[in-house]
A = this chain, B = another copy of it.
């Protein structure tokens, strides 16, 4: 099998795994169900990913890349408006948001294989968010709080809104509500630092 074909197959498996995890969660997902969806035997699937955990890690890495633009370089360029656009983009792909939210929820249970990934990811996300906030507000946000204090709040709003939106998309407009949060942040009247 050629390399291009193999890469394509790998991408197909990752997409199928995303779907199965969105439907059943990671603990409920089976390699058999993923294999079936791409027309492989379970043995054939193990050729690409040697274990269920390896498949999960690949799904998470793949997903995260989409969101952050990948490298540390890209992250520095983020601004609050880009974040708002990311939330709008997420609102158009409920399947991926559902997978991510189900995995985040499961990750807090004992010995979950995604726990370390999420713990590291959130430490990184908070650092990035603090930079984004510093770019916009300087060293103080409204009320005198620092970008480092506000970073976990910005992160929490994004995650928390995803659950409310997934449960009840008719009642919760995720993108619009996230923009309301930016309006709140900016209402303190402090402009960007010189």
Q: Are B109 and A28 in contact (CB under 8 A)?
A: yes
Of A40-48, A68-76, A180-188, the stretch lying at the interface with chain B is A180-188
Q: Flag whether A33 is at the interface (Cβ < 8 A).
A: no
Report how far A61 CA is from B192 CA in the complex, Å: 47
Copies in the complex: 2
Q: Flag whether A171 is at the interface (Cβ < 8 A).
A: yes
Report how far A143 CA is from B150 CA in the complex, Å: 17
Q: Are A25 and B171 in contact (CB under 8 A)?
A: no
Cβ of A93 to closest chain B Cβ, rounded Å: 14
Q: Are B105 and A143 in contact (CB under 8 A)?
A: no
Of A9-17, A50-58, A161-169, the stretch lying at the interface with chain B is A161-169
Q: Are A153 and B157 in contact (CB under 8 A)?
A: yes
State which size class the interface on A falls in: 35 or more
Q: Choose one: B108, B119, B144, B156; the contact of A160 (CB below 8 Å).
A: B156
CB within 8 Å of B: which of A11-43?
22-25, 27-28
Q: Which residues of B have CB within 8 Å of A81?
A: none
Q: Which residues of B have CB within 8 Å of A187?
A: 141-144, 187-188
Q: Flag whether A145 is at the interface (Cβ < 8 A).
A: yes
CB within 8 Å of B: which of A89-143?
98, 101-110, 115, 118-119, 122-123, 126, 141-143
Residue of B nearest to A122 (CB): B164
Chosen A-B contacts, 13 in total, with CB atoms closer than 8 Å, are A25-B27, A25-B105, A27-B28, A98-B109, A101-B105, A102-B105, A102-B106, A105-B105, A105-B106, A142-B142, A142-B187, A152-B177, A159-B163
Which 3 residue pairs spanning A and B have beta carbons closest together? Answer: A105-B105, A156-B160, A143-B187
